[in-house]
Amino acid sequence: MLLTLFGVSFLVFAAFEIIPGDPAISKLGTDATPEMIAALREQMGLNRPFIVRYFDWLGDCIRGDFGRSYSYNRTVISMIGDKLPITVTMTIISMLLVIAVSIPVALLLAKYMGSTIDRAGYISNQILMAVPSFFLGILITYIFGLTLRFFTPGGYISYRQNFAGFIGYLLAPSVAIAIPKCAMSVKLLRSAILEEWNKDYVRTAYSRGNSTMQVMYRHVLKNALIPLITFWGMAVADMIAGSIVVEQVFNIPGLGRILLTSISNRDYPVVEAIILLIAVVVIVMNLIVDILYRCIDPRISK
């Protein structure tokens, strides 16, 4: 796992090394004299060998020092630290929505297996899975923001000003991020339940006098959730990526906006830091999934 992180950090650093374009030039502008550029390169430490700079950078990152932004006179950590709570909150709300909605819906569809409800559920699931979350965001803005006026599009409220208002404003984008993942969870969970339902232990449970509801909740649900855990773990990374785009729809100044401005400004320290951060999140999620697996499925343990 640490090896993966090491690999990612190396790839990130190397990738930004091989690109054309000198950050010293882009910082000073094209009319800078060669002497000025050389001086700045020296000051930024760009003249040392690649490997040395990599380990320096990695060591700094581990200590929580991601360097200074090329474009703004601020440390990267202060730029990101500000915005991180926004993206994190949005991802958490989306994840909670996915779990809270998909389990009951999948149970409902499995209960009415083969009926009209099930077919309608299947079709709407397929459609919802195909809607990109930024288009959902636009639809939500159009329907609930502009037509029904439940919220003011673009009226982001900072968590420092009003925390309740902040959560309230994040609700709409979170729903937009959650819906496609939710549809996919429902589909996976429904088929997992049906698969479990054909297993022998279900008959055993019935033979002890369990009702259908009891068989579902005491026996089947836990087994059916096992494949879902992997999916949810992977969905977190997707949701962070989705939030970068959806932030633009709702005009939220989160990680996505810094990432985009940094990309267009060629502000590499910031881009590197964000990528690395997301990599850490992904790896930590894998770890959590692993631990959850061990808790829910006794067959996997060393």
- Could you list the residues that contact other proteins (CB under 8 A)? 3-4, 7-8, 11-12, 15-16, 18-19, 126-127, 129-132, 134-135, 138-139, 141-142, 146, 153, 199-201, 203-211, 214, 218-219, 222-223, 226, 237-238, 240-242, 244-245, 248-249, 259-260, 263-264, 266, 271, 275, 278-279, 282-283, 286, 296-299
C-alpha to C-alpha distance for 180 and 175, rounded to whole angstroms = 9
Contact criterion met (CB below 8 Å) for 67 and 76? yes
Choice between 36 and 296, CB closer to other proteins: 296
Choice between 52 and 263, CB closer to other proteins: 263
Contact criterion met (CB below 8 Å) for 216 and 108? no
Contact criterion met (CB below 8 Å) for 255 and 83? yes
C-alpha to C-alpha distance for 19 and 79, rounded to whole angstroms = 24
| Min dist. Cβ of residue 139 to other proteins (A) | 7
Choice between 12 and 109, CB closer to other proteins: 12
Alpha-carbon Rg of the chain, whole angstroms?
24
Choice between 93 and 136, CB closer to other proteins: 136
Choice between 105 and 249, CB closer to other proteins: 249
CB atoms within 10 A of CB 207: 8
C-alpha to C-alpha distance for 22 and 293, rounded to whole angstroms = 47
